[in-house]
Amino acid sequence: MTFSASARRPDPAIPSLVDRLERVAAPADVDGSYPRAAMELLAGEGLTRLERLVPDRLHGGMGQLRRMLAHVGQGDASVGRLLEGHANALELLDRVAPEPLRTRALDKVGRGAIYGVWGADPPENPLRVAFDGGRYHLSGAKMFCSGADGLDAALVLAAADLLGPDRVSDRPHSQT
């Protein structure tokens, strides 16, 4: 699927964004590090907030989101990919996260936190979650974890064999 960045006039917050993203993201492109300065630029412009990234599908919101992602991708493709993952995470949080997790996560986003979604499984070893003895246990792997070295949090998707208590958590990845 391709999107034409010139199909419509860009959002008023984006006019000089392409050039600024190119400048701030260039060092990360050279050394392969997380483009923190570029993501902070987007957050500072308010472009990482729920209301900017989770479209109102009834009023042309998907077109606006595609155009914004196209403009960001012109400035730096890896930053555009991270912003797309962040948008996907916000939509999932908004639709399925229980309270108070939803409110806590969206408050963090309002303060500049960047989220991602890790969903791609290798066919030979998909990530699975099981509930046993009052605890969740993960086994398997993920193929791609975009932004792993810089995201504030990621939604990690896993197949479940059986239903247990709420399977949505905001526990840091370092906790077991």
Greatest mean pLDDT among 49-53, 80-84, 170-174 lies in 80-84
Q: Does the pLDDT value for residue 109 go beyond 80?
A: yes
Q: What is the topology classification, in CATH, of domain 17-160? A: Butyryl-Coa Dehydrogenase, subunit A; domain 1 (1.10.540)
| pLDDT-derived band at 24, boundaries 50, 70, 90 | very high
Of 132, 126, 141, 117, nearest in space to 164 by CA: 132
**Contact criterion met (CB below 8 Å) for 90 and 81:** no
Torsion of CA 109, 95, 53, 8, to 10 degrees: -170
pLDDT of residue 93: 92
Domain ranges of the chain: 17-160
Per-residue burial over 125-164, b if 16 or more Cβ lie within 10 Å, else e, is: ebbebeeeeeebeeeeebeebbbeeebbbbbbebeeeeee
| pLDDT-derived band at 7, boundaries 50, 70, 90 | very low
DSSP 3-state of 117: strand
Q: Tens of pLDDT along 112-155?
A: 999 999 999 999 999 998 888 888 889 999 999 999 999 999 99
- The larger pLDDT score, comparing residue 151 to residue 16, is at 151
The residue-averaged pLDDT of 11-38 equals 85
Of 38, 40, 42, nearest in space to 14 by CA: 42
Cα 95 to the chain's mean position, in Å? Answer: 14
pLDDT of residue 59: 62
Strands 159-160 and 115-118: unpaired
Question: Lowest-pLDDT range, 43-52, 65-74, 128-137, 157-166?
Answer: 157-166
pLDDT of residue 4: 38
* CA distances for 125 relative to 37, 49, 104, 139, angstroms: 35, 34, 32, 8
